[in-house]
Structure 1
Amino acid sequence: MAHTKSALKRHRQSEKRNLRNRIAKSSVKSQIKKTLAAIEAGDLAMAKEAFRLATQQLDKAAKNRTIHPNEASRRKSRIARRIAALKK
C-alpha cells in the first residue's frame, strides 16, 4: 500500500481512470457486437445505424487514448468492409 500522500492520490486517480477506461471499452465492445449481429441478420439499415454509433464510440475512445487510434481505425475499416459486402 502507498505510504506518502502523493502516492495515495496517484492510486486514487489510477483507480478512477481504470474505471473510466473499462466503461469506455465495454461500451465499444457492446456497440460492435450489436453491429455484427445486424450484419449477421442481413439487416442493412440496422447495420448502418449500429455502425454509425460504433464509430462514435470508437472515435471517442481513441481520442481519449483508451484504445490506440490505429486500433479504432482498423476496427471501423473491418466493419465497413462487411457492411459493403452486405450491400452487394
Structure 2
Amino acid sequence: MANTPQAKKRALQNARRYEINRARRSRIRTFLRKVEEALASGDKAAAEAALRAAQPELMRGVTKGVLHKNTAARKMSRLAHRVKALG
C-alpha cells in the first residue's frame, strides 16, 4: 500500500488514468468492430464509411497515448486493404 503522500497521490492518478484509458480503448474497439461487421456483411459502402469514422478515433488514441503510432497505422492499413478488396 502507498505510504508516502506522493505515492498515495500517484495511486489516485493511476486509477483515474486507467479508467480514462479503458474508456478510450473501448471506444476505439467499438469503431473497429463496426468496420469488421461491415466487412463481414460484404457492404463496401458501409465498410468505407465505418473505416472513415474509425481512422480519426485510432489517431486520437495515438495522441492520447493509448496506442502506439505504428500499431494504429498497421490496423488502418490492414483494414483499408480489406475494404479495398471488397466488392
Q: Tell me the TM-score range normalised by the shorter chain.
A: over 0.9
Moved segments of 4+, more than 6 Å: none
Q: Gapped runs of 5+ residues in structure 1?
A: none
Aligned sequence identity (%): 36
TM-score by length of 1: 0.93
Structure 1 letter corresponding to 2:77: S
Q: CA deviation at 1:48?
A: 1.1
Aligned-pair Cα RMSD in Å: 0.9
SS at match of 1:16: helix
Matches within 5 A, 1:31-70: 31-70=31-70
* Distance across 2 between alignment mates of 1:55 and 1:10: 33
Supply the distance in 2 between the matched residues of 1:48 and 1:20 (Cα, whole angstroms).
28
Range with bigger deviation, 72-81 or 51-60:
51-60
1:75 corresponds to which residue?
75
**Counterpart-to-counterpart distance in 2, 1:58 and 1:21:** 13
- Equivalent position amino acid for 1:28 in 2: I
Query: What pairs up with 1:14-29 in 2 under 5 angstroms?
Result: 14-29=14-29
Give the drift of 1:52: 1.2
* Structure 2: 5+ residue stretches without partners: none
TM-score (norm 2): 0.94
